[in-house]
């Protein structure tokens, strides 16, 4: 159905492989309303990979899926990027951004704090988690927690 909506031919082989990667083969005859949170995320990913757009936009889509599906998704993202696709990802998983990302916009309270290539940040000897800790005054928070709790 998603292929019809985007006027994309249905590639049955591709669909079969995606369904296998996301362990959905025994679930396809069920209504989505009965799916778990993770299964719904997997359907979103299958749909995104089926329609072959130039850009995939995801918002916390990898949260709530099992480890095998997450690893398959990372491989699929890498292949998608190699073929010229772009991925815009909104996530709180900074380690994932470092692993699969190219460029990062780190936003806090609606303000862009960093707009840079990930490799440039890593070259400084830091990482996104440490940059974010600096942004939120992690040490101050840590000291306060140690004092009051």
Let me know whether 2 and 72 are in one domain.
yes
**Cα distance between residue 102 and residue 110, in whole Å:** 21
Residue 79 and residue 97 in one domain: no
Examine the pLDDT at 28 and tell me if it is beyond 80.
no
Reported pTM: 0.84
Closest CA to 119 of 104, 135, 134: 104
Q: How far apart are CA 81 and CA 94, in angstroms?
A: 19
pLDDT-derived band at 136, boundaries 50, 70, 90: very high
Mean pLDDT of 9-28: 91
Does residue 123 sit in the same domain as residue 79?
no
The answer on 76 and 110 residing in a single domain is: no
Q: Whole domain around residue 141: which residue ranges? A: 92-149
Strand positions, DSSP E, 1-135 = 55-59, 86-90, 103-108, 111-117
* Per-residue model confidence as pLDDT tens digits over 39-89: 999 999 999 999 988 999 999 888 889 999 999 999 999 999 999 999 999
Residues 148 and 97 in one domain: yes
Give CA–CA dist 107/115, Å, rounded: 9
| Distant-in-sequence contacts of 141-144, Cβ < 8 A, 24+ apart | none
Q: Please indicate, yes or no, whether residues 77 and 99 belong to a single structural domain of this protein.
A: no
Examine the domain organization and report whether 70 and 44 are in the same domain: yes
Residues 102, 35, single domain; the answer is no
**Domains in the chain, number:** 2
Contact 39, 51 (CB under 8 A): no
**In a shared domain, residues 112 and 49:** no
| d(C-alpha 59, C-alpha 73), whole Å | 14
Q: What percent of the chain has pLDDT over 70?
A: 99
């Amino acid at each position: 159905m998603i292929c019809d909506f985007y006027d994309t031919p249905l590639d049955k082989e591709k669909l079969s492989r995606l369904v296998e990667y996301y362990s959905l083969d025994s679930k396809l005859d069920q209504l989505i309303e009965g799916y778990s949170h993770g299964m719904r995320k997997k359907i979103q990913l299958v749909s995104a990979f089926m329609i072959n757009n130039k850009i995939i936009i995801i918002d916390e889509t990898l949260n709530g899926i099992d480890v095998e599906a997450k690893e398959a998704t990372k491989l699929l993202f890498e292949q998608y990027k190699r073929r010229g696709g772009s991925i815009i990802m909104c996530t709180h998983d900074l380690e994932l951004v470092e692993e699969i990302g190219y460029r990062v916009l780190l936003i806090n309270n609606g303000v862009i704090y960093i707009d840079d290539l990930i490799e440039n940040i890593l070259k400084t000897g830091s990482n996104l988690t440490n940059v974010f800790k600096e942004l939120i005054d992690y040490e101050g928070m840590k000291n306060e927690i140690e004092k009051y709790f």
